[in-house]
Each structure stands twice: as C-alpha cells, then as structure tokens.
Amino acid sequence: MSENQNFGMDTLAIHGGINHTNFNEHVFPLFQTSTFMFENTEQGARRFAGEETGYIYTRMGNPTVEILEKKLALLEEGAVGRIYPTGMAAISSPLLGFLGAGDHLITESIIYGCTDSLFRKQFERFGIEVSFIDSVDCNQIVDHIKDNTKAVFLETPSNPTMKTCDIKKVCADVKAKNPDIKIVVDNTFATPIYQKPLKMGADIVIHSCTKYINGHGDVVAGAAVFKDKNMADMNHTQLDIGTTVSPFDAWLMIRGVKTLPLRMERHTQNAKKVTEYLKNHEKVDTVAYPGFSGMIAFELKEGVEAGKKLLNSVKMIGLAVSLGNVDSLIQHPASMTHAIIPKEQREKIGITDGLVRLSVGIENVEDIIADLDQALNNS
Ligand SMILES: Cc1ncc(COP(=O)(O)O)c(C=O)c1O
C-alpha cells in the first residue's frame, strides 16, 4: 500500500503507509516499546552496522512511528517523512541539520511567536545569522540572498494574520539565484489538502501535527517531509538531538489523520460562513480569511477591551491557544501566542492588540455563529 502513489487523498489518509504485520490486524498496532530484542550478538552488530534491516531502539526507528512517517510523505508527495515530539522540534531539528555558525537564514516577520523566538534567540546565539523580511510582499525575499544564505523559511498562511505567500514564485526566484538554498515551508495552516509546497519547489515541508494533522487536540507533535531522500539521510539531527515522538502519540495521529480530508472540507465550509457573518457584523472592523481551511483573524471596531469581552463571553467555543481541532477555539495573539514578540515589532507586522484569532471547528456552523453572536452582543 505504501508504494501506491496513485490513490486519491481520501484513500491515502486512510490506507497510505500501512503495512500489516503477520497477525493481519485491521488497525495497525501500537509498538509502545523503547527497544527491540536481538536474536544474538551477531544480529545486534549487523543491525548497528546497517548490514541487516530491523529495529534497534525507538529513538532510531519504531514501526508505529514509521507508518505515520510514510503516510505523511505520501500526503505531501515527498520522499521521506519524519515525526517529532512537537512542531517546534520539527522546525528546529531539520534546520539545525544544515545550518551552522556563519550561515544565513531568511524568513518573514509574520510567523508563529515561538518560531520567531527560536530564530531570534537561539539561532543567533549559535552564530546563525537571520534576516526577518518586514514586508507585505514575500517576493522581496530573493533580494536579501547573500553568499552565506543557506535556507529560506516561509510560513503561509501565516500565524496569526493569515498573510499568504506565492510559494511557487519564491522557490523559482530563490533557486534561480542559488539552487543550493534549502526552502522550508511551514504548512500547518493549509495542510496538504490545500497546498503541497514540495510540488511548488520547496525542499522541506513542516507541520505542527498538534493542529489539523491530528485534529483532535489530544497530541502535541510535529512532522517534516523531505523532498529528497539524500537530503533526509544527511540530516541526522533528530537522532543526535533526540527529538523522537512517543509511539503512542504517533498511533493517535494515525487515527486522527484518517479523517483529515473530510475534516478540512468541513472546516472550510464552516469558516466561509463564519467569515461572511463576521464581515456583516456592525461591531467587526477587519476580517482576514485566506479562503480555505478553518483559520480567521479579525479586529473589532471598539478595539482591545471589546475583544477581551468577546473572548470572555464565548460559551461553546473554547478560550484556548492551539488550533485545527474539531472543536472551535478562540484566542488573543498579542497577549497569548505572540506575546513573546515585542509590542513595537508586533504592531509593525499587523498583530495589533485588538486582533482576535478564531480556529473554526467542525461543529454545526449555526451553533458556532450563535455563540459568536451572543458574545459579540456582550462586547
Ligand atoms: C504555524 C505554526 N507552526 C509551528 C507551531 C509550533 O507547533 P507546536 O506547538 O506543536 O510545537 C505552531 C504552534 O502554534 C504554529 O501555529
């Protein structure tokens, strides 16, 4: 099954990557084990020497984790998938695999708060130079390429403003200038259902699987899918730093991702209706929705205090960070997910104090709108 690249996305989400064991079970089992036994010392030595395939130790490979890795590689149309314990580990581990002191990374200013902090506080501490492009037009990235530029990192649609970027054009322009520059795209908001960065010229696609990939709010995890096997083989950081996911979390995600196409369809249907509702509401000032997926950012005319009142008044919608769950969630980026970014910088990139981020779930849309309506009437 894992070899079949021709199935549609709905089928791949369910069957992709699955190789049944000798028990011919219906659902792939959870191998919740830290290590694997050898028949004898010779076999152990052969496995360590790479002369015999087989499992050794879960940090180096686990059957349950591998099923999910194959499934995500099929969904993103890449060569190799890797699963990490968090989305942040899925960003830091692959990038640290090919960036070192003296190298240069280009990214945009509007990215998830902890990704911003990773680049600004950690990468710069390791001597990796980072340029943040303060622009509404990501096509300007190419103008910042230098001799030591090794990677470009994009997040599109971006968290939390929903700004989008033409991945195909950025990849073409960057590769025309230097084909060795690695282009890494965080595809958490769009998912492979709406966007496949590797097909557009990117080298690595990243997910916070905590969000739509798992979809049920019970796992924190991440993934990276590499376009090419050599690039993945050269990237050893997962093994060395030890950013390995728990097999149980991988097992939950294998279950969660089965409904990804169906969930994304409903998230989009609901978010379109909620966007229309918000746009027509007299108290709402701006609404940003990319047209697909379930994420909306909006501002109220009466600003911060009205926004806070709205958040404190929702009943069914959860007041919580995270996103992409079947349940609707609402949060305030300036004081929550993006509080780590200094206020002056936040405002420059459109993360105003009044901005509200809504992750539209797959409940009945009438109930989502009714909850927003009663909360807006209170604000
Ligand atoms: C776009 C994006 N990328 C990465 C992350 C980090 O993922 P995690 O929280 O799973 O480490 C997040 C978290 O919100 C995110 O929104």
Asked whether residue 204 carries a pLDDT value surpassing 80, the answer given is yes
Residues 104-124 have pLDDT tens digits of 999 999 999 999 999 999 999
Residue type, 151: A
Q: Based on C-alpha coordinates, what's the Rg of the chain?
A: 21
Domains of the chain: 9-30+62-258 (3.40.640.10), 261-377 (3.90.1150.10)
187 pocket-lining for ligand 1 (C-beta < 6 Å): no
Active site residue 346: no
116 pocket-lining for ligand 1 (C-beta < 6 Å): no
Residues 73-102 have pLDDT tens digits of 999 999 999 999 999 999 999 999 999 999
> Catalytic: which of 59, 175, 273, 309?
59
Sheet arrangement for strand 295-300: 284-288, 295-300, 355-359, 329-331, 318-319
For residue 138, the model assigns a pLDDT of 81
User: Which residues does residue 185 pair with via DSSP β-bridges, in sequence order?
Assistant: 154, 205
Phi and psi at 292, nearest 5°, equal -150, 165
Active site residue 112: yes
Band (136; pLDDT cuts 50, 70, 90): low
> Catalytic: which of 103, 186, 249, 371?
186
Ligand 1 centroid from CA 21, angstroms = 33
161 pocket-lining for ligand 1 (C-beta < 6 Å): no
Which atom of ligand 1 lies nearest, measured to the CA of 158?
1
210 pocket-lining for ligand 1 (C-beta < 6 Å): yes
Band (2; pLDDT cuts 50, 70, 90): very low
More confident call, 320 vs 235: 320
CA 23 – CA 87 distance, rounded (Å): 33
Residues 191-202 have pLDDT tens digits of 999 999 999 999
CA 67 – CA 252 distance, rounded (Å): 12
CA 292 – CA 275 distance, rounded (Å): 11
Mean pLDDT of the chain: 95
Asked whether residue 305 carries a pLDDT value surpassing 50, the answer given is yes
Active site residue 55: no
